[in-house]
Amino acid sequence: MDSKIVYLFAVASLVKPGLFQNNSETLDIYKTAVENLHRHMRLTANYYTDYPDNGQETNATYDFIVIGSGPSGSVMANRLSEIPRWKVLLLEAGDEPSVITEIPFVSGALQFTNYNWGYKAEKQEGFCRGCSGGSLKWPHGKVLGGGTNINYMIQVRGNRIDYDRWAAMGNPGWSFDDVLPYFLKSEDAHIEKQDEEYHRRGGYLSVSDVPVRTESVRAFVEAAQEAGHPYVDYNGKSQLGVSYVQGTLRNGRRCSAEKAFLRPVRSRKNLRILTKARVVQILINPDTKEAYGVRYTRNKKYHTAIARKEVILSAGGLNSPQLLMLSGVGPRDHLEELGIPVVKDLPVGQKMYDHATFSGVLIQVNDSSIVFNQEQETLNPQTYIDFLVNGKGTFTSLGKYTKALTYIKTNASTDPDPSYPDIELIYVGGSLNTDKGLIYRRIFNVPQDMYDVIWKPFENKGLIQIFPMLVHPRSYGYIRLKSKNPFHWPRFYANFLSDPENHDVKTFVAAVREIERIIQSPSMRKYGAALVRTQIPGCEQYDFGTDAYWECAVRTITGTFYHQVATCKMGPPEDPEAVVDPKLRVYGVKNLRVVDTSVIPLPVTAHTTEPAYMVGEKASDLVKEFWGKKRPSGRDERRPG
C-alpha cells in the first residue's frame, strides 16, 4: 500500500472519465476508495455543480461577455449580473470542477489533471539548471473557478505598501485604503487570532484557519517568535511576523471562486455560464477600435457572441496577454512578424513578474513523530470520518501539509520602508519525500536521480522543508506568441534570477541565513533541528553553506508559486509599459477591459488569488459606475446557507 496512496486522490479522474492525464494501473487499488469518498461527499453536500449545458446560439447578444472564470472573472460575472436588466455571458475554456477538488489535501495532484493548462516556461540559463528538462512547470487553472480550483488556497491580501505604491505610480483609487473595502466585501472570515477591523463576516468567500496543525508547525511558530518574529494576523495591521496560514476554506473544504461566486447565482435568468467554451479572438472593429464580441469554440464548432456594452477579459496572467495579442493588441513588431493585423500597438506581455522559490532548504529533526506522516494518516479510517463528517483533520490541510507563513525583511533588503518584507517563508510540515517523491517531486520538477541523493535517504525520517518565496523580485520575464494559431501555447520566458545586481539571489541567500537562525531557537532546537548538509548535485564544487554554494543551489532547483503578474500592466497614460488605464480599460480600444492578475503592476507581498478577487470587486464597481448603475455601497448579496 505504501506511498502510492498519493494517487488515491489523483484518481479523481475516475470520477470524470479522462480527467487524469497519466493514468496508471497502479492506481486501480485506490479506485474503489475514491469512488466511495466521492459518493459520500455527494450525499453529504447541499449541492454540487452540474451547470446545465444550455447550448449556444451563434450571434447571441449580451450586455457583457466575461472571458474566463478565475477569481476575477467569477466576481465580475456575479456582480454584473446583479443588475437584472444586464445580460451577462461567462465563457470558460475548462470543465466544471469535480467534487474531488474540494479536498484541500489533494491540491497538488490536481496539477496532473485536465484542470491544468499544463504550461511550461522556456528553458533558460541561470535558473532551474537541475530541473527535469531544465525548465519550470507553470500550471494554470483550466476549470470553472480557474486557479482557485487547483491552487493551495493560501489566502493573503498583501501589504499596505503594495497598494500604496500602485497608487503612487499614477493609479488613483488603488491605494490600500481604497482597496481594503473590496477585500472586505468578498470576505466571510472565521479566524481565531485576527485583527478585527480588517475582517468581516457575510461575504461570498469563506476564509478560515486550517483546522489541523502538526506538532512541528507549532514548534516552528514558537521558534520564529523566539527569534524575534511576532505572531501576526498577516491580513491585518502588520504583515511582518509569523502566523498559521489562513485558507480559502468552508467547513474544511475548498472554497473556490466557482463555489463562492458562481454556484449561488447560477440560476439567475440574466447570467449564462458556458464551460468548455474557449475564446480564440476578441472581435474589435479595426476602424472604430471598438470591441464588440468574441469568437469561441465549443463542441467542436466556432461561435460568435456579441457584446452590446463591454468585453471583460479575465483569462488570467498568461492567457489574457495571449488573447489580446491574437486579437491584434500587442507589440507591433511581434504581431506583424506573425501576420496578425495590428489594431493597437501596446506592450502586452512585455513584462512578467512571478514569485520564484527554491526547494533546497531541508531541515532534519530527531523526532519523526512531529512531522506529517502521510501513510499513517491516509490509511487511518478516522482521517476520513474527521473530514467527511466534521470538516476537520488531515484532509483539510492545504496541499497536504499544514503550513505557517513568516514575512521577513532580510538584511539584503534595500527598501527604505522598515515594514516591507522581501521574503515569505512557507513552512510545510513535511517534505518532497513525504509522498516518496510521487507528486511534489514532480511538481517542483526535481529529477529522480537528484531526489535519490537528497531526499530518499530521509524517507520515513523527520524531514521538513521551508520554501522561501521572493516577494519583490527585480528580475522579470516576458511572453511571446509562438504563432497566430490560438491553440498553440505562447512562449513564456521567466528570466528568474537575472537582475544585473544579482539582488534576487542575494535575497534568497539572506533568507536561508534567517531560516538557519530561526531553527536554532529553543523550540526547534529541542528537536535537534539542523539543515541537511547533503550537497545538491551540480554544486559539489562549493563548500556547503557558503554564499556561492547557496547561489548554485538556488539556480539549480529553482521553483515558482505561480503568481504571474503585470503582463497587461495597469498604469497612467504616460507609463510606456501600461496596457490598461487605472479603470482597467485597454488603451486605445473601446469597450474592452482586462480584469485579472495580469493588470497588477508590481509583484505583491501575497499569493495572488486574494488580490485577484479584489481586482474583480473593484472592477465591477468601475463598470457599474461607467454605465450608471453603481449600487449604494454596502449592499451585498450574502451567500446562501
Ligand X SMILES: Cc1cc2nc3c(=O)[nH]c(=O)nc-3n(C[C@H](O)[C@H](O)[C@H](O)COP(=O)(O)OP(=O)(O)OC[C@H]3O[C@@H](n4cnc5c(N)ncnc54)[C@H](O)[C@@H]3O)c2cc1C
Instruction: Work out which of 176, 182, 234, 562 binds ligand X, going by CB under 6 A.
Output: 562
302 CB contacts (<8 Å, ≥6 apart)?
280, 295, 296
Residue number with CB closer to ligand X (410 or 608): 608
Least distance in angstroms from the C-beta of 496 to ligand X: 16
Residue numbers 54-83 binding ligand X by CB under 6 A: 67-73
Instruction: Work out which of 560, 609, 619, 620 binds ligand X, going by CB under 6 A.
Output: 609
User: 38 catalytic, yes or no?
Assistant: no
Residue numbers 391-450 binding ligand X by CB under 6 A: none
- Distance in angstroms (rounded) separating the CA atoms of residues 131 and 152: 22
Q: Could you say whether residue 146 binds ligand X (CB under 6 A)?
A: yes
Burial code (b: 16+ CB inside 10 Å, e: under 16) for 66-85 equals bbbbbbbbbbbbbbbbbbee
CB 264, CB 275: distance < 8 Å: no
Least distance in angstroms from the C-beta of 234 to ligand X: 12
Q: For the chain, what's the residue count?
A: 641
180 CB contacts (<8 Å, ≥6 apart)?
198
Residue number with CB closer to ligand X (150 or 412): 150
Least distance in angstroms from the C-beta of 615 to ligand X: 8
Q: Which stretch binds ligand X (CB under 6 A): 11-19, 92-100, 382-390, 464-472?
A: 92-100
Residue identified by cell 502588520 is 238
Q: Which stretch binds ligand X (CB under 6 A): 19-27, 142-150, 222-230, 623-631?
A: 142-150
CB 381, CB 394: distance < 8 Å: no
- Distance in angstroms (rounded) separating the CA atoms of residues 160 and 419: 10
Residue 46: CB atoms within 10 Å: 7
DSSP 255: -
Least distance in angstroms from the C-beta of 259 to ligand X: 14
Q: Residue count at the site for ligand X (CB under 6 A)? A: 42
Least distance in angstroms from the C-beta of 94 to ligand X: 4
Residue 544: CB atoms within 10 Å: 15
Least distance in angstroms from the C-beta of 291 to ligand X: 15
Q: x/- contact string, 279-318, with ligand X (CB under 6 A)?
A: x----------------------------------xxxx-
**Residue 128's Cα: distance from chain center in Å?**
20
Instruction: Work out which of 97, 130, 147, 462 binds ligand X, going by CB under 6 A.
Output: 147
Least distance in angstroms from the C-beta of 279 to ligand X: 4
List the catalytic residue out of 38, 199, 355, 563: 563
Residue number with CB closer to ligand X (364 or 609): 609
Torsion, Cα of 446, 452, 455, 456 (10° steps): 140
Residue numbers 589-608 binding ligand X by CB under 6 A: 596-597, 607-608
At residue 347's C-alpha, the angle toward residues 342 and 353, to 5°, is 140
Residue whose C-alpha is closest to residue 613's, from 637, 596, 600, 626: 596
Residue number with CB closer to ligand X (67 or 221): 67
Instruction: Work out which of 13, 49, 78, 151 binds ligand X, going by CB under 6 A.
Output: 151
Q: Could you say whether residue 563 binds ligand X (CB under 6 A)?
A: yes
- Distance in angstroms (rounded) separating the CA atoms of residues 438 and 567: 33
Q: Could you say whether residue 518 binds ligand X (CB under 6 A)?
A: no
Residue number with CB closer to ligand X (154 or 224): 154
For the record, the C-alpha cell of 126 comes out as 541561470
Torsion, Cα of 244, 247, 253, 256 (10° steps): -170
Residue number with CB closer to ligand X (82 or 596): 596
Give 354-406 as a DSSP string.
--EEES--EEE-S-GGGS--HHHHHT-HHHHHHHHHHS-SGGGSGGGS-EEEE
Q: Which stretch binds ligand X (CB under 6 A): 79-87, 140-148, 196-204, 515-523?
A: 140-148
Sheet with 403-408, strands from edge to edge, namely 241-244, 403-408, 423-428, 463-470, 362-364, 530-531
Least distance in angstroms from the C-beta of 144 to ligand X: 7
Residue number with CB closer to ligand X (71 or 462): 71
Q: Which stretch binds ligand X (CB under 6 A): 90-98, 389-397, 410-418, 572-580?
A: 90-98
- Distance in angstroms (rounded) separating the CA atoms of residues 109 and 389: 23
Instruction: Work out which of 97, 104, 130, 139 binds ligand X, going by CB under 6 A.
Output: 139
Least distance in angstroms from the C-beta of 567 to ligand X: 10
Q: Could you say whether residue 141 binds ligand X (CB under 6 A)?
A: yes
Residue number with CB closer to ligand X (355 or 436): 355
* Residue 137: strand, helix, or coil: strand
Least distance in angstroms from the C-beta of 83 to ligand X: 21
Residue number with CB closer to ligand X (16 or 503): 16
- Distance in angstroms (rounded) separating the CA atoms of residues 465 and 35: 32
Q: Could you say whether residue 354 binds ligand X (CB under 6 A)?
A: no
159 CB contacts (<8 Å, ≥6 apart)?
239, 419, 420, 421, 604, 605, 606
- Distance in angstroms (rounded) separating the CA atoms of residues 79 and 76: 5
Residue whose C-alpha is closest to residue 497's, from 554, 565, 545: 554
88-91 vs 271-274, strand pairing mode: parallel
Residue 541: CB atoms within 10 Å: 9
User: 607 catalytic, yes or no?
Assistant: yes
Residue number with CB closer to ligand X (220 or 401): 401
Residue identified by cell 521538513 is 464
Is residue 279 part of an annotated ligand binding site?
Answer: yes
Q: Which stretch binds ligand X (CB under 6 A): 35-43, 85-93, 339-347, 528-536?
A: 85-93
Instruction: Work out which of 258, 504, 610, 617 binds ligand X, going by CB under 6 A.
Output: 610
Binding footprint of ligand X on the chain (CB under 6 A)? 67-73, 91-94, 111, 139-143, 146-148, 150-154, 278-279, 314-317, 319, 323, 562-563, 596-597, 607-610, 612
Which residues are catalytic, by number?
563, 607
Residues in binding site for FAD: 143, 279
